[in-house]
Amino acid sequence: MTTHAETPLAGSTHSWNTRAVHAGKDDLAALGLHAPPIDLSTTYPSYDVVGEAERLDEFAAGHDDGGPPVYGRVANPTVRRFENALAELEGAEAAVAFASGMAALSACLLAQVAEGKPEVVGVRPMYGTTDHLLESGLLGNSVRWVTPDEAASAITDTTGLVVVESPANPTLTEVDLRALADACGAAPLLVDNTFATPVLQRPLTHGASLVLHSATKYLGGHGDVMGGVIACSAEFARSLRQVRFMTGGVLHPMAGYELLRGLATLPVRVRAASATAAELARRLAEHPRVTRVHYPRVGGAMVSFETSVDPVALVSAVRLITPAVSLGSVDSLIQHPASLTHRIMDEVARKDAGISPDLVRLSVGLEDVDDLWQDLLTALTHAAR
């Protein structure tokens, strides 16, 4: 399994594992603190009205001087810690956090539409709601769906984003990110890195411009916090902060605290769950009622498989694994994409994206592999066509 977690980060003598624990917290000891503080303020006192007016102009333009944020919709010190930590772990100049992964993607689209670049080149498959948002044109964008080999010929002067998810949701299809980034030329490549996390893959090192995380998943890791974040250049971060300032899609400070805490255990959780997922993928491939198994070369804690039994009945038959959407939690989740996460897509689009009606998606948690396997065996036995 490929992993970057043991290698030092650029500009640091410490490994990625060590930085995951300490990123965003390096100043705590000097402040006499051990745990990061949670700043729940919605507004901040200011006796220098002229000075604050000038700072507010800077915030409205997307700049952040690191000082008190004037108002909670502008910025938050606790959220700022999470943003700084995630930027460091993805190897980015900056990161901007939002209330959800879809809010983060929406901000990217709005920023590019405002720049007169409303065209999106999309590589399927990807998360169903991402697909639906791009297809809808609701935010003023248009989309052209291509294979990775067709991306270069689809890009025009008004292409604002090339969007790809690798490994993809739910088929776990992988894309050669370096080749795709080269094909994009000057067009920004946005990679949804939710499934791999920066433990297994850092798209910016392969030439991507933007990295998207649904922080709700592995970054939080416990199924109890929602958020989204974009890792990017300092210049693009200013555009995203402008959108966030105006639209209000801010991450709550408590969520920022929980996500920062989640980063500390991210490498341990991802490696442990990935080892279990790889073993389950091997066992599933040998089961007579499983017709195909999808598991990415990069590794990870996601497994998808196609089955000859009724997939809906299979999902309903598990007892230890929870039948639910979402992923990346410490407990295992299973769901039927055609019925839930990708139901919002047109049936033809699902077929074109390789999303079979027999496909089941499994997010592997931290339970014992034999306990999970017994639950899957029982479900495969009792689920009938």
Q: Give the count of beta carbons closer than 10 Å to the beta carbon of residue 177.
A: 22
Question: Cα angle vertex 98, ends 95, 103, to 5°?
Answer: 120
- Among the listed residues 81, 117, 127, 295, the single catalytic one is 127
Cβ-contact 118, 140 below 8 angstroms: yes
- Quick one: angle between helices 234-247 and 101-114, nearest 10? 100
Cβ-contact 81, 25 below 8 angstroms: yes
Cβ-contact 150, 141 below 8 angstroms: no
Is residue 218 part of the annotated active site? The answer reads no
Look up residue 89 and give its amino acid: L
Cβ-contact 289, 307 below 8 angstroms: yes
- Neighbouring C-alpha atoms within 13 Å toward the C-beta of 369: 14
Cβ-contact 304, 294 below 8 angstroms: yes
- Among the listed residues 55, 124, 217, 361, the single catalytic one is 217
- Among the listed residues 73, 261, 271, 283, the single catalytic one is 73
* Best CA proximity match to 214, nearest among 185, 251, 180: 251
> Which residue matches tokens 């709601």?
129
Is residue 149 part of the annotated active site? The answer reads no
Look up residue 44 and give its amino acid: Y
Is residue 217 part of the annotated active site? The answer reads yes
- Among the listed residues 39, 64, 131, 192, the single catalytic one is 192
Kindly list the catalytic residues.
Answer: 73, 127, 192, 217
